[in-house]
Amino acid sequence: VYDTVDETDGSHIKIINNQTFIVHNARGYLPQKVVHFVMNLHTLPRVFYLSRHGQSEYNLLGKIGGDAGLTDAGHEYARRLADFAHNVIGMEVEKDEETGEEKRIPCPARLWTSTLRRTKETAALIKKERISTFKWDNGDQVDW
């Protein structure tokens, strides 16, 4: 189901016919990187996935922000996200022309995350065989 968004819906990017981009309230390093990424997507069909971090200790307490670690539910989300990344995002199906047999082979993908503890913990279980991770210096020290 598609619902239009307006200024009351928080940060968002409207893309109209792959030609017009309306960016609303995208502030900060990672949101700007996402805007840059989306605006530079090729016009050929491509799939990209966005995910929030798993539930953090602060989420459980109703707090916003901070640098808390994941709860048990957050770790379970991270485990399931890693399975999805490995089995769906990080694999493609190739069909053998002669036998008609399908085989799954690793395909390249990119993983972007902020430097917050909860996001690093969420991404930690994702196998990085063909999924490249990006590290940037936004004033925080990142240790993968």
Render pLDDT for 50-103 as a digit per residue (tens, 0 to 9).
Answer: 899 999 999 999 998 889 999 999 999 999 999 999 988 888 889 888 888 999
* Residue-wise pLDDT tens digits, 106-136: 888 888 888 889 999 999 999 877 777 765 5
Alpha-carbon distance 98 to 20, whole Å? 45
Q: How far apart are CA 115 and CA 97, in angstroms?
A: 44
Bridge partners (DSSP) of residue 94 are 103
- According to the 3-state scheme, what is the secondary structure of the chain? CCCCCCHHHCCEEEEECCCEEEEECCCCHHHHHHHHHHHCCCCCCCCCCCCCCCCEHHHHHCCCCCCCCECHHHHHHHHHHHHHHHHHHCEEEEECCCCCCEEEEECCEEECCCCCHHHHHHHCCCCCCCEEECCCCCCCCCCC
Average confidence (pLDDT) over 37-57 = 83
Quote the pLDDT of residue 135.
59
